[in-house]
Amino acid sequence: MGSTERIRNVAKRVAKWARAGHQMVVVPSAMSGETNRLLGLAKDLAPSRASSAYHRELDMLAATGEQASSALLAIALQAEGMESVSYAGWQVPIRTDSAYTKARIESIDDQRVRSDLAAGKVVIVTGFQGIDEHGHITTLGRGGSDTSAVAVAAAMKASECLIYTDVDGVYTTDPRVVPEARRLHTVSFEEMLEMASLGSKVLQIRSVEFAGKYKVPLRVLSSFTPWDIDIEEEARSGTLITFEEDEKMEQAVVSGIAFNRDEAKISVLGVPDKPGIAYQILGAVADANIEVDVIIQNLSKDGKTDFSFTVNRNDFARTVDLLKEKVVPALGAQEVVGDAKICKVSIVGIGMRSHVGVAARMFRVLSEEGINIQMISTSEIKTSVVIDEKYVELAVRTLHKAFELDQPAAAAA
Amino acid sequence: MGSTERIRNVAKRVAKWARAGHQMVVVPSAMSGETNRLLGLAKDLAPSRASSAYHRELDMLAATGEQASSALLAIALQAEGMESVSYAGWQVPIRTDSAYTKARIESIDDQRVRSDLAAGKVVIVTGFQGIDEHGHITTLGRGGSDTSAVAVAAAMKASECLIYTDVDGVYTTDPRVVPEARRLHTVSFEEMLEMASLGSKVLQIRSVEFAGKYKVPLRVLSSFTPWDIDIEEEARSGTLITFEEDEKMEQAVVSGIAFNRDEAKISVLGVPDKPGIAYQILGAVADANIEVDVIIQNLSKDGKTDFSFTVNRNDFARTVDLLKEKVVPALGAQEVVGDAKICKVSIVGIGMRSHVGVAARMFRVLSEEGINIQMISTSEIKTSVVIDEKYVELAVRTLHKAFELDQPAAAAA
């Protein structure tokens, strides 16, 4: 939420839903820029601390942002003539573990909220925060407000959890790359998970996982839609993330094209092919807290093999150094080569499960454009390829067209 | 507390005290301007609401200011190498009644704070706020942080409660009026109460009352003193408000001259002198929520009397209208006259109890300067007069000199 003007608009929108007969629980984020302002003050005072005591205080500090915006929203709703009350996470309570700055929700007590709803109030619950078993305030970290909203919706057994974001839904691909990209009316939970993990920044993957675990129907819609649009229209807007497969009668084979430019490829060449090499290479990487995505081990030839994987670009140089210093000598491998100018492109679709040849079609389309595939990784509902970064727009556009994602009939629910 | 620079200085000062072997509990106010900023946002959203639900949300909102500054102070202390933890009022807990925006502290649980102190930590407790029996956040209203500090000091049975303010102590009178005014090293609780109620804005009267109730030795000292001055010097600085009368061996007869320009005088003339007139006049005023200070009923003459009292200047016009419309006709009084250009000047001193003739000396000094006394009000340790506003500086200067308050020996403890 931004200025008081935006808070007022949120209040009008919530009041509209409540007046239409819905019991409403609202989970606001902090006002725009507030969390960064607060954490900036902390950083100014203690530039580089990492103790648990420090993280505890960061959570005390950051939690005030959502408490303030929640109280302001309750006030704005009261000014709209709605009865409303706000609760901090500890008041609900939303119980979490004690991992300050990245806590996980353990349980939510729905009694207090339920009794206020029954009394006709709109209930505001602070996002992003909870309380641990010792009574300390915790925050959930990045994307915490979305996760809180989903968790509260799960606890309340809500009929739908509406997530108002700065985009108006989930698209077949990034509209900045493919202007013909279409908004999906529905997308399955599994597809959303794959898209979220592939850099489609609509929702934090954590909130999607949470929704999946508790089967909370999630609707992603735009906070920029005027508050006074017809409620039926708003209820159909955005993208619904569903868990009911049979809802999608006309299943598209591929629902979207995702891509991720944040990765880098690293290959360890000439590794003696013996048991345990994957563990020796990736174990060292994992010990350094570096996350690995795509992993490929080539066929062995003359007792040697090549081993490739991708990491986040921020970890690229560190990973290469680590391998050169420790792993290559220990393994007796030949050398380490890396390439930060790559991109991962994926086709995602729950329909791929029952349609053969989808991956083959992807590879054919890319080869017809002269795009060399460097790595391949597949799952039940996704096929990813790693290609030269300079081909990313071409690959995404071509695949979007080849799988007819620009055609309304194909992707509509 | 102002900027992070000021927070850092507070941390250094607290660390100095802690390193000298003191167990420290710190009760910070919000950062400078923060409470006004937050309440301004609320006012912007709901210009004129007065419901309990609204006040509840104001407290949720305002409480974030102290929570943030407390967490920041804990972080700054950690950066100084001190172990530190901050607690919001509800975490201590500080129990209050449910009077949102002006709650009263009912009890403080000292267990949590005590165990952290025993573990060698500096404990930060948010000022200004608590929790009611239903788990709602409450705030204490104006001067709440001082009151919180005194209450925590009482609960912890602290040896002294240091209140850092923007003045360096309590003075014999306002130094802007009398440059010779001297800082008092000690002042009795009763004197401080009289001075606080008379417009000496050093401490909110509420926190002084609280200190008196629980006999918490309070020291008022300046937050502008460099944090690194010698600790023994700092421990003697400011003004100590004491409860031990025998501490003051060389008791000054008069400790200070207070004055208040915020009042206005109202007289109801020609009131038939019969039982119940005070109630009929002041009852109507009290019903309109107007506070009355000095009250004088003149001697009756020919079955009629005049009745005078003072109110805050902001209530002057409203009180006169009220009396003219309702009280004068009902009482059969003659008329209502008022004067907003008055000032109340008081001499305050616990020594007045055992010294006769102090009031008489005050009256003589004023008459020698040709200052007419319009009203007189006395208590055990205070004599107040109402005079024409234009004489206030002359009266204060003359009394300050007459009672030798400019002489070091007279007022030192």
Is residue B355 predicted with pLDDT exceeding 80? no
Q: Which of A67, A79, A90 sits opposite B64 (nearest CB)?
A: A67
Q: Who among A54, A76, A86 is closest to B78 (CB)?
A: A54
Look up residue A339 and give its amino acid: D
How far apart CA A150 and CA A148 sit, in angstroms, is 5
For position A2, what pLDDT does the model report?
56
Residue B372 pLDDT > 50, yes or no?
yes
- Closest residue of chain B to A126, computed from CA coordinates: B60
Of the residues A8, A64, A83, the best mutation for testing chain B's interface (the one with the most B CB atoms within 10 Å of its CB) is: A64
Stretch among B70-84, B142-156, B242-256 having the lowest mean pLDDT:
B242-256
**3 state DSSP class of A408:** helix
The answer to whether the Cβ–Cβ distance between B46 and A71 falls below 8 Å is no
Among candidates B53, B54, B86 on the partner chain, residue whose Cβ is nearest the Cβ of A60: B86
Probe site for chain B from A14, A35, A43, A57 (most B CB atoms < 10 A): A57
Q: Please, is B367 exposed, middle or buried when counting C-beta atoms within 10 Å of its C-beta (0-12, 13-18, 19+)? A: exposed
Phi, psi dihedrals of residue B259, rounded to the nearest 5°: -150, 160
pLDDT digits (tens, 9 = 90+) for B288-303: 888 888 888 777 778 8
Does pLDDT of B412 surpass 50?
A: no
Q: What is the mean pLDDT of chain B?
A: 89
Q: What is the ipTM of this complex?
A: 0.78
Residue A323: which of A287, A294, A298, A296 has the closest Cα?
A: A287
pTM: 0.81
Token pair recorded at residue A370: 């002269």
Look-up of token digits 């989903």: A150
Which uninterrupted H or E stretch holds A135? none
Full pLDDT tens readout for chain A, 413 residues: 558 999 999 999 999 999 999 999 999 999 989 999 999 999 999 877 678 999 999 999 999 999 999 999 999 999 999 999 999 999 999 999 999 999 999 999 999 999 999 999 999 999 999 999 999 999 998 778 899 999 999 999 999 999 998 888 888 998 889 999 999 999 888 888 887 665 556 777 788 888 888 899 999 999 999 999 999 999 999 999 988 765 554 556 888 999 988 899 999 999 888 877 888 888 888 888 888 888 887 777 788 888 899 999 999 999 999 999 988 998 888 999 999 999 999 999 887 877 777 888 899 999 999 999 888 888 878 889 999 999 999 999 999 999 999 887 544 33
Distance CA B180, CA B398 (A): 11
Contact A68 B38 (CB under 8 A): yes
Q: How far is A58 from chain B (nearest CA, A)?
A: 7
pLDDT at A252: 67
Out of B38, B45, B137, name the one closest to residue A8 (CB): B45
**Which residues of chain B lie closer than 8 angstroms to A38, CB-CB?**
68
